[in-house]
Amino acid sequence: MRYLACLVPCLLLLAGCSRSQPTLHVAGDVAARGVAVPMVLDTAAVDSDADRLAIERSGGEIVLQQAPAFPGPQALETIYCTVLNATEGASTFSWADQDGMLRLEEDGRPVLAYNYGTQLEAGVPEAYRRSTYIHPIWNRSGVVLTDDFPDDHYHHRGLSWMWPRVQVAGATYDLWHLRGVRQVFDRWIAKEEGPVCATLGVQNTWQLDGEDPIVEERVWVRVFQATEQGRAVDVQLTFAAVDQPVQLLGQENQNKGYGGLSFRFAPREATTITTPDGTEGEDSDHKRVAWADQSGRFGGAGVPSGVAIFQHASNPGFPAAWTLRHYGFLGVAWPGNEGITLTPGAPVTLRYRLWIHPGMAPAGHLADAYAAFQHPPGVRVEK
């Protein structure tokens, strides 16, 4: 895995820095953002073919790690990932396979696990056996933030993407409650690790019970190293109908509209939900904002933490509505009850970022962290 360590001036070359040395140029004042800035760089912006370029600076080095690119309109094969404005040194990420779970650790501490094998908790009905979701997700202190098979909603599963109405060939199935259709692991596309980020690419299919696949699903996850302010986890989901149209719709009961990217939180105390409009005092559906956060004290820990979900502006229908539940649920309700039809040869892509932060929402620097996701600074590297 290639990676570069480079000096970072704010706008111009630092006084006394030789122009023969590789230099990372950043447009704008990154320090003014208030948070470390996880980002990816087009490899074309890196004017160097060296495996490592180390330049000392106050506070250590900036590391650029080559990693697989998420598929997109630019058709890149590789990118460089980095975290600007961070004070931490390089990390060591590692993947480990165990019991149908691919578990990620950073410097020996658990980060998250992708469940590619079917999972079923003891005492839960067989009908709820499932796979292709992320659980557990840990905070930097080792506290689990997600729940799986909760007693009140057996079908809730960590970080997942599921819809209550999946219509194909005149019939309706329920991926939300696992009735007639399931997500099935197919193969790994990428499984990379390094000092700055870890990247996972997965191909899955949606299969009707006992029948051929109806949707091809591609999941990309990039986990950045943790900083004092938080950790970014980027998630990209792409769906394509296989050989006939497939319609996705939200929950029609009471016009709730839920269905899509869903985060079920572990038990906690002092729960607070925050959006760009401020603290949300009541549960709600249909609120259209770019991000939402749920924070509290998890697992009996005295120190609170939280997770925000950021929607990317490139997503169709941005910003999608939210399902906000204080019992421990955040859901991006896309496409809601308006529905969307997946057609063969026309994949649909959704992009999100999880921002896992210590402290309650005000300490999470949510507006700054969202701005870093939506509007990353321009960066180039030259010798």
- Spatial distance between the Cα atoms of 106 and 137, rounded to a whole number of angstroms: 13
- Spatial distance between the Cα atoms of 270 and 313, rounded to a whole number of angstroms: 31
Domains (range + CATH), the chain:
92-365 (2.70.98)
Helix count and strand count (H, E) for the chain: 1, 28
Tell me, what's the pLDDT at 245? Answer: 98
Region of poorest pLDDT, from 86-100, 120-134, 227-241, 320-334:
86-100
Give residue 21's pLDDT band: very low, low, confident or very high (50, 70, 90). low
215-265, pLDDT tens digit by residue? Answer: 999 999 999 999 999 999 999 999 999 999 999 999 999 999 999 999 999
Give residue 4's pLDDT band: very low, low, confident or very high (50, 70, 90). low
More confident call, 87 vs 154: 154
- Spatial distance between the Cα atoms of 71 and 101, rounded to a whole number of angstroms: 24
- Spatial distance between the Cα atoms of 152 and 201, rounded to a whole number of angstroms: 31
Tell me, what's the pLDDT at 30? Answer: 77
Q: Hey, is 359 helix, strand or coil?
A: coil
Residue 383 contacts by C-beta under 8 Å, 6 or more apart in sequence? 20, 21, 22, 23, 47, 48
> Which CA distances in Å does 106 have to 71, 266, 358, 378?
25, 21, 17, 28
Residues 158/133, Cβ–Cβ less than 8 Å: yes
Burial 44-69 (b: 16+ CB within 10 A, else e): ebbeeeeeebebeeeeebbbbbbbbb
The overall average pLDDT reported for the chain is: 90
324-354, pLDDT tens digit by residue? Answer: 999 999 999 999 999 999 999 999 999 999 9
Residues 24/383, Cβ–Cβ less than 8 Å: no
More confident call, 56 vs 361: 361
Tell me, what's the pLDDT at 26? Answer: 83
Instruction: Retrieve residue 288's tokens.
Output: 């259209």
- Ordered DSSP codes for 20-69: TS-EEEESS-GGGGSS-EEEEEEGGGB----S-----BTTB-EEEEEEEP
pLDDT of 271 higher than 60 = yes
* Helix, strand, coil tally for the chain in percent (to 5): 10, 50, 40
Residues 168/244, Cβ–Cβ less than 8 Å: yes
Peptide bond into 73 cis (omega under 30): no
Tell me, what's the pLDDT at 322? Answer: 98
pTM of the model: 0.93
Residues 350/248, Cβ–Cβ less than 8 Å: no
Tell me, what's the pLDDT at 164? Answer: 98
pLDDT of 184 higher than 90 = yes
pLDDT of 375 higher than 60 = yes
CA angle, residues 207, 209, 214, in degrees to nearest 5: 25
Tell me, what's the pLDDT at 16? Answer: 36
Q: Hey, is 352 helix, strand or coil?
A: strand
